[in-house]
A = this chain, B = another copy of it.
Amino acid sequence: MSINNIPKSIQKNCQTFLACEADFTEAEIVLFGAPYDSTTSNRPGARFGSAAIRAESFGLETYSPYQDRDLTERAICDCGDLELPFGDSAQTLAAIEQHAGQILAAGKLPFMLGGEHLLTLGTVRAAAQRHPDLCLLHFDAHTDLREAYLGVSLSHASVIRRCWEILGDKRIYQFGIRSGERYEFAWAASGHTQLQKFDFTGLEQALAECADKPVYFTLDLDVLDPGVFPGTGTPEPGGVSFLQLMQAAVQVCRQANVIACDVMELAPHYDQSGISTAAACKIVREMLLAL
């Protein structure tokens, strides 16, 4: 056998999210994984989220009967997982900010797969630097508005508060929230963010308000009911259904001017059945198709 006709099968293994096989230069959207969960205060393991989503995506079809679109028609690059230093949140956020910044600088949409929710701060920093009028759409079970958690200001429980320090009042829209301290809800209600408890009521209105602005869309998957998404650090009973989330996420990705986004907080080890990863995969597919 001559070296020139090596079959394609005899080559190094490249694993990507389902059908996201474009090269960076040709891609419109650039997926990357961010395996870090050092500030998780309850059950760690979100570090395994992005790898699980990538590995299990082969169980999905590329075609969505919901949107009648197919991933094979899109140009998406999956550039794998970053290598992040566990236990050093400042360095980790800097690495993510730089990475997302490079993607944005190339005119592409960065799509981060978490990892814990703190990491959103890195991509929001990168996005806000290029888009000073950035709005933040936030789906989550938790307020994430603490000043700090046990003295740690770079915490998953404080990430939206940190984003607010960058974006300012009336730029953050929160949906599905069903857990937090009393003072966090009060702080939001005093005009800092627009917080919708429990569900997506008011999403249409929020999208209208952001219509002419760049939007960062951050999705903490624990907004889902634990019945369909048990694999997360802090399951909160009473969440939205998969179809509710899928419709809302598709609506955001279709109607808003999303310039960056993320899907966070899958911790697959807490779900032996794999349905949490399956849900994450399908949400990512639908968002990629809708963007």
Which A residues form the contact surface with B (CB < 8 A)?
1, 3, 6-7, 9-16, 21, 23-25, 30, 32, 37-45, 47, 51, 54-55, 59-63, 65-66, 68, 70, 77-89, 91, 99, 102-103, 105-106, 118, 149-152, 154-155, 177-182, 185, 197-198, 225-228, 230-231, 234-238, 242-243, 246, 269-275, 278-279, 282
Is the Cβ of A228 less than 8 Å from the Cβ of B234?
A: no
Report which of B106, B150, B152, B237 forms a contact with A275, defined as CB distance below 8 A.
B237
A90 to nearest B CB, angstroms? Answer: 10
CA distance A62 to B180 in the complex (A): 8
Copies in the complex: 6
The answer to whether residues A39 and B42 also contact, given A235-B278, A282-B237 and a CB cut-off of 8 A, is no
The answer to whether residues A59 and B88 also contact, given A1-B106, A99-B9, A105-B1 and a CB cut-off of 8 A, is no
CA distance A91 to B40 in the complex (A): 16
CA distance A228 to B237 in the complex (A): 8
A156 to nearest B CB, angstroms? Answer: 9
Report which of B32, B185, B225 forms a contact with A65, defined as CB distance below 8 A.
B185
Is the Cβ of B15 less than 8 Å from the Cβ of A13?
A: yes
- Which residues of B lie under 8 Å from residue A226 when comparing CB positions? 228, 273, 275, 278-279
Is the Cβ of B225 less than 8 Å from the Cβ of A228?
A: yes
A-B contact list, 19 entries, CB within 8 Å: A6-B24, A9-B99, A10-B32, A10-B79, A11-B79, A13-B79, A39-B86, A41-B86, A65-B178, A85-B149, A87-B152, A225-B242, A226-B228, A227-B227, A228-B237, A237-B242, A238-B282, A270-B273, A273-B273
CA distance A151 to B259 in the complex (A): 31
- Which residues of B lie under 8 Å from residue A269 when comparing CB positions? 43, 269-270
Query: Which among A13, A84, A150, A275 has the greatest number of chain B C-beta atoms within 10 A?
Result: A13
CA distance A54 to B78 in the complex (A): 19
CA distance A194 to B51 in the complex (A): 38
Beyond contacts A13-B79, A86-B149, A237-B275: 19 other A-B pairs, Cβ-Cβ < 8 A, are A10-B77, A13-B15, A15-B80, A38-B87, A39-B86, A41-B86, A42-B59, A45-B45, A61-B179, A63-B181, A65-B177, A65-B179, A87-B154, A91-B151, A226-B228, A227-B275, A235-B273, A269-B270, A273-B273
CA distance A231 to B272 in the complex (A): 10
Across the interface, name the chain B residue whose C-beta is closest to A83: B150
CA distance A198 to B37 in the complex (A): 32
Is the Cβ of B227 less than 8 Å from the Cβ of A79?
A: no
